[in-house]
Structure 1
Amino acid sequence: MYVYYNESDNSIPAASVHYQDLVRQIMYPVFSLTAGTAATIIWYRLYIIPGAAHCSPNTLQPNGPFPQTNLQVLLNWVEKGVEPTTLNATCLAGTEKGKNS
């Protein structure tokens, strides 16, 4: 499972990092922070999308990239064992439109 949080999301409070830590604490209560985190990221990843708004790029930062292939990334991880380290993002507007980062 992976979760991505849009850093400038005005609909969802910035609780995703805290939530991931709570998951770690509940699933691995006797592990150290380092060991619990290592065990958690095997199956739970959190990605923070800089400047993105709720489910979309931020209109105040039109050149900001936004992930477009989330489902494919998840399918590749689950079905092919390709662990995601980053999310590929595409600029959808502005002077960088169409460029990946």
Structure 2
Amino acid sequence: MKKHKLISFRIWICYKKRISKKLELQGTISLGFSYINKRTERVAKGFTFIENFSIGFSHHSFKNSFIYFGTNFGHVSNLNFQLPNDGYNILGLEIGFSYFI
């Protein structure tokens, strides 16, 4: 059985707006492309394009650390270069932790 392989490259932009001393609103937009080695029921084999948008809150919880909670929306398709091209829409929740060294 041939395994699915996905290779991707994305560039993203993140913007933070301070709401209070310890809370920031964070938005991220990313665009990229990928290659999938096997056709699925919604996307043809070959190059696909990825678009993502997320928004959430980053809380300065401890010294040099942040907790993030947000939501995201993503879409994967091949821009109708090949059929099928129904693509995938993804809606998700994000929880994260970051620590500055």
- Tell me the TM-score normalized by structure 2: 0.30
Higher helix proportion (structure 1 or 2): 1
- Tell me the TM-score normalized by structure 1: 0.30
Higher relative contact order (CA 8 A, sep 6+): 1
Report which of the two structures shows the higher radius of gyration computed on alpha carbons. Answer: 2
